[in-house]
Structure formats: C-alpha cells, structure tokens
Amino acid sequence: MSFEFTLDEDIAPELFDFPFDDWDEDDFGMPISVDGVPAVIYRNNKSLLDYHHKFQTVLTEERYDEDSIDEDDLRELVGFLERATAHRRGVCIFCFE
C-alpha cells in the first residue's frame, strides 16, 4: 500500500514527525539520501500505535491541509495503521525529496 503526502512541519506537524521524530529503540533509518535525509525509515508496532492515534485525531478534528495530504489518503493511512497495529506489524516509510 502506498500513500503520498508532503512534509511541511508548519502545515502538518504529525505527518512531518512520522518519518523523522520520536524514534523508538526498535525504529531505525536505513540508507541516507544525497541530501542527508533517511531514504527509508522502519517504524515498529509500538511507534505505529502512537501515530495511528495522532492521525485519527488529525482526521477527526480536520487539522490537515489538502495541499499536504488528501482527505481520502489520510483516511486510508489511518485504516492502514489500524490494521498494521492490530496484526502487530511495523512499516517502512520511503522518503523522496
């Protein structure tokens, strides 16, 4: 499954934090891009539980900008994280600049 969203810390801080902040001890970055940003990040299940809750709140309170992520994509992302956490899975996040 794939979701595309724009990383803008001012517009959507939760989306910005998803690949970059609050890494748990089992989360890790993989190859670094030429700009020094992790190109792939792994988030473990515990970490996903927090982000599922954060993204659900953002969706419910409509605290997102459709220029950063489309509402349907955000709904799909919330559903995806719900399924991943229910099955105790982690996810890889691919970053493009």
Of the ranges 30-34, 48-52, 64-68, which is most confident?
A: 48-52
pLDDT tens across 75-86, in order?
999 999 999 999
Of the ranges 12-21, 51-60, 65-74, which is most confident?
A: 51-60
Q: ∠ CA 14-18-20 to the nearest 5 degrees?
A: 115
Residues 61-67, mean pLDDT to the nearest whole number: 85
Confidence of residue 96 (pLDDT cuts 50, 70, 90): low
Nearest to 3 by CA among 86, 83, 78: 78
Q: Where in the chain are the domains?
A: 45-97
Confidence of residue 1 (pLDDT cuts 50, 70, 90): low
